[in-house]
Amino acid sequence: MSDRGPGTAGDQTAMQGMTAERIAEAAADQMWQADRASRHIGMERLAVGPGFARLRMQVGPEMTNGHGICHGGYIFLLADSAFAYACNSRNQRAVAASAEVHFVAPAHEGDVLTADGKEQVLAGRSGVYDMTVRDQNDRIIALFRGKSVTIKGRFIDDDVSSST
């Protein structure tokens, strides 16, 4: 997890009454309620913290392509969802500006894939996040890098977080 030090927007909100971890969880809870895509394919949110997220999904038969392996789009979706939860974890809404994925090994039906997303840098309105997707045997399946940009809006109002 990233330690950006005091003085950042997320840290200032946390200093007003909520811990950075609680803010990340509250933001993730709000996102999860609206995140029909991730829920639809059976993703699970395992962990979220400031600049960090871990999500998991099992590769179902409907996720395989003509080669009998997991379609790369599903692997991208898992990594992109981890990216979304990591870059929105500081109570500032953010979206992807760009993303790239490197498929390292195939995943197969029945595999359980976990994506760990970690903030690398956050500067102004821009952030860079790296996701690693692994299977149940800890084999790296894909590496994903996402670049985020913040947009208007927060998940938790400052007055709510200061009274919590």
Q: Are strands 44-49 and 52-58 parallel, antiparallel or unpaired?
A: antiparallel
Q: Which residues of the chain have pLDDT under 50?
A: 1-15, 160-164
Tokens coding 147: 């670049």
pTM above 0.75, yes or no: yes
d(CA 149, CA 125): 5
Please give the domain boundaries of the chain with CATH numbers for all domains. 9-163 (3.10.129.10)
- pLDDT for residue 34: 94
E-strand stretches of 13-111: 44-49, 52-58, 94-103
Instruction: Give the pLDDT of residue 158.
Output: 67
What is the model's pLDDT at position 156? Answer: 87
pLDDT in tens, 9-44: 444 444 367 899 999 999 999 999 999 999 999 999
How far is the CA of 141 from the CAs of 12, 37, 65, 70, in angstroms? 37, 21, 16, 10
pLDDT of residue 16: 65
